[in-house]
Amino acid sequence: MAKKQITGSIQEVNLTPMIDSTFQLIIFFILTAQMASQELAKVSLPEPVKSMAIGADPDKPDQPTNLNNVTVNVVNKYGDSDDNRQMELAGKAECYQLGQNKIDAGNIEALTAAIKERKAQILSDKNIKNVKEGDIIVEIRADKDIVFQDIEPVMRAAAEAKINKMSMTALVDPEHRVKR
């Protein structure tokens, strides 16, 4: 009789720990996603006609393609938003960003020093194999509306840091995708 009472009792699954852990996961993913995206500054990239930009390998989208690159982001006040841009303000570079290091636009000495430092880091990085000084590329990742005179200092700083290869970041044309 007593046995029958036990089997007949309500057995509810306690969902509180599951919900707790779900929220923990959400917080973890939000924080890590933010940290990862801080390296790539928000810019509205140029979209040239029949773009020759070489994107990541579609078969291996997660494979890093720019280990040799010193990426210099040139950012204006609008970030990646294309809405309500005042062209005069959009033309001005607000800062240069290397990794998470932000340098005021116009501070060419600091920019040159930062490029040299990043170059030295790449050359001494044991995870990047067989990289020589001539293999290092300065990648200019600039907003499409910034005027050339605010971007030219990046080229001069790169030349001063003895980097003579350059690439420009642009949007990939999905219909004329250039193969790696």
Partner 1 sequence: MPINEIMQIEEGSEEQHYVAPRQKRQMDKKSMQPPLTPIIDVTFELLLYFLLTSTFRKDEGQIPASLPAAGGAASEAPPFRPIRIIIMPQGSLRDQVVYTVDNNPPTDKPEMLYAYLESRAKTGDPAEIPVLIKSDGFARWKFVVEAFNAAVRAQFKKIAFSGDGAG
Residues binding partner 1 (CB under 8 A): 4, 8-13, 15, 18-19, 22, 26, 45-56, 66, 69, 74, 87-88, 91, 137-139, 142-149, 151-152, 155-156, 158-160, 162-172, 174, 178
Nearer to partner 1 by C-beta: 83 or 126?
83
Return phi, psi of residue 115, to 5°. Answer: -65, -45
Instruction: Please count the residues of the chain.
Output: 180
Nearer to partner 1 by C-beta: 11 or 100?
11
Give me the least distance between CB of 117 and partner 1, in Å please.
Answer: 18
Q: What radius of gyration, in Å, describes the C-alpha atoms of the chain?
A: 24
Give me the least distance between CB of 19 and partner 1, in Å please.
Answer: 6
Nearer to partner 1 by C-beta: 60 or 165?
165
- Token duo for residue 150: 């605010």
Give me the least distance between CB of 148 and partner 1, in Å please.
Answer: 5
CB atoms closer than 10 angstroms to residue 44 = 19
- Token duo for residue 110: 């600091």
DSSP 177: P
Three-state DSSP state, 73: strand
Nearer to partner 1 by C-beta: 22 or 101?
22
Of 140, 71, 153, 69, the closest CA to residue 105 belongs to 153
Q: Which H or E element spans position 20?
A: helix 16-38
Give me the least distance between CB of 52 and partner 1, in Å please.
Answer: 4
Give me the least distance between CB of 166 and partner 1, in Å please.
Answer: 5
Nearer to partner 1 by C-beta: 103 or 146?
146
